Amino acid sequence: MDLAGLPPEYPLGLAAALFAIGAFGVVFRRSVIVVLMCIELMLNAVNITFVAFGRELGDMAGQVMVFFVMTVAAAEVAVGLAILLVAFSRRKTLDGDEFASLRG
């Protein structure tokens, strides 16, 4: 399947839809695991945007930025899950409202 003739509006529309779904999940969900997954969904939407603009402009900078975004996302997942494991072992819940009481 050749994607060379694909107009840039299609991947940008997909990225906008994925970002909106992720933002909705971050705002309205209570489970911290689901919120982390929605943040990852938003980062993937940004990656699609970078690749679409890079392809449209004929520049490799979009793919390079995707590499850096994926690196930061991997670090965010590792640190976020480690924090969640410690918080779960102390509170026995993954409800985001319960973690608000951890503020000092």
pLDDT (tens digit, 9 = 90+) per residue, 61-71?
A: 989 999 999 99
Please say if the pLDDT value at position 2 is more than 70: no
DSSP 63-85: HHHHHHHHHHHHHHHHHHHHHHH
Please say if the pLDDT value at position 103 is more than 70: no
Number of domains in the chain: 1
CATH, residue 52:
1.10.287.3510
Domain boundaries, position 15:
9-102
Judge whether 3 lies within some domain.
no
Q: What is the pLDDT of residues 16-35, one digit of tens each?
A: 999 999 999 999 988 888 88
Residue pair 76/39 in contact by the 8 Å Cβ criterion: yes
Residue 83 banded pLDDT, cuts 50, 70, 90: confident
Please say if the pLDDT value at position 91 is more than 60: yes
32 vs 54: CA distance, rounded Å: 33
